[in-house]
Structure 1
Amino acid sequence: MTDNLKVWFIISIAVALLMGKILIPILTKLKAGQSIREDGPKSHLKKNGTPTIGGLIFLSALVIITLLSGNLSPQVWILILSTSLFALTGFIDDYIKVTKERNLGLTAKQKLFLQIVGALIILIYQYKSKSLSSDLFIPFIKTSVNIGLMYIPFIIFVIVGTVNSVNLTDGLDGLAAGTSIITLGFFAIAANKLQNYHIEFFCIALMGSLFGFLYFNRNPAKVFMGDTGSLSLGGAISAVAVLLNLPLILPIAGGIFFIETLSVIIQVASFKLRGKRVFLMAPLHHHFEESGWKESKVVIVFYIVQFVLCVISYFVVF
Structure 2
Amino acid sequence: MDITLILSFGISLAITLVVMPVFIPYLHKIKFSQTEREEGLASHQKKTGTPTMGGIVFVLIPVLLCCIMRPKILTDMKMLIVLMAYVGYALIGFIDDFIIVVKKKNDGLPAKVKFLMQSFLAILFFFMYKSVGDTTLWIPIIDEYIELGPLYFVLIFIMFTAESNAVNLTDGLDGLCAGTVSIALVPFIAFAITDNEIELAMLLIAVLGSLLGYLRFNVHPAKIFMGDTGSLALGGLLAAVALVLKKEILLVIIGGLFLIETLSVMIQVISFKTRGKRVFKMAPIHHHFEMSGMKETKVVIMFYIIGILLAILGYVIGVM
Same fold flag (TM > 0.5): yes
- Structure 1 residue 139, shift from structure 2 partner: 2.5
Determine if the alignment matches structure 1 residue 192 to structure 2 residue 187: no
Q: Which residue of 2 aligns with 1:116?
A: 119
Describe the SS at the equivalent of 2:138: strand
- Structure 1 residue 22, shift from structure 2 partner: 2.8
Determine if the alignment matches structure 1 residue 96 to structure 2 residue 95: no
Q: Which residue of 2 aligns with 1:172?
A: 173
CA contact (8 A) 1:253 1:313 kept: yes
In structure 1, give the amino acid aligned to 2:233. S
CA contact (8 A) 2:63 2:203 kept: no
Q: Which residue of 1 aligns with 2:163?
A: 162
**1:108-257 equivalences in 2 (<5 Å):** 108-128=111-131, 130-131=132-133, 133-257=134-258
Q: What is the distance in 1 between the residues matched to 2:136 and 2:23?
A: 43
Q: Which residue of 2 aligns with 1:58?
A: 58
Describe the SS at the equivalent of 2:146: strand
Q: Which residue of 2 aligns with 1:70?
A: 70
Size of the aligned set, in residue pairs, is 316
Q: What is the distance in 1 between the residues matched to 2:108 and 2:142?
A: 43
Q: Which residue of 1 aligns with 2:90?
A: 87
**1:257-296 equivalences in 2 (<5 Å):** 257-296=258-297
Q: What is the distance in 1 between the residues matched to 2:301 and 2:121?
A: 32
Q: What is the distance in 2 between the residues matched to 1:63 and 1:192?
A: 18
Structure 2 CA distance for partners of 1:72 and 1:205, relative to 1, 3 Å: farther
Spell out, residue by residue over 1:255-279, the C-alpha distance to the aligned partner (whole angstroms, 9 max, x if none): 1111000000011111111111111
CA contact (8 A) 1:66 1:72 kept: no
Describe the SS at the equivalent of 1:231: helix
Describe the SS at the equivalent of 1:62: helix
CA contact (8 A) 1:19 1:61 kept: no
- Structure 1 residue 72, shift from structure 2 partner: 3.4
Q: TM-score, normalised by structure 1?
A: 0.96
In structure 2, give the amino acid aligned to 1:151. Y
In structure 2, give the amino acid aligned to 1:123. F
CA contact (8 A) 2:96 2:109 kept: yes
Where do 4+ consecutive residues of structure 1 move more than 3 Å? 1-4
- Structure 1 residue 55, shift from structure 2 partner: 0.4
- Structure 1 residue 71, shift from structure 2 partner: 4.9
Spell out, residue by residue over 1:187-209, the C-alpha distance to the aligned partner (whole angstroms, 9 max, x if none): 00111122222221111111011
CA contact (8 A) 1:112 1:160 kept: yes
Q: Which residue of 2 aligns with 1:7?
A: 7
Aligned CA-pair RMSD = 1.3
Q: What is the distance in 2 between the residues matched to 1:115 and 1:316?
A: 30
Q: What is the distance in 1 between the residues matched to 2:4 and 2:62?
A: 16
Describe the SS at the equivalent of 1:100: coil
- Structure 1 residue 3, shift from structure 2 partner: 4.1
Q: What is the distance in 2 between the residues matched to 1:72 and 1:285?
A: 41
CA contact (8 A) 1:32 1:52 kept: yes
Q: What is the distance in 1 between the residues matched to 2:237 and 2:149?
A: 25
Q: What is the distance in 1 between the residues matched to 2:311 and 2:197?
A: 19
Q: What is the distance in 1 between the residues matched to 2:195 and 2:71?
A: 18
Q: What is the distance in 1 between the residues matched to 2:2 and 2:63?
A: 21
Q: What is the distance in 2 between the residues matched to 1:314 and 1:267?
A: 31
- Structure 1 residue 135, shift from structure 2 partner: 0.6
Q: What is the distance in 1 between the residues matched to 2:152 and 2:81?
A: 19
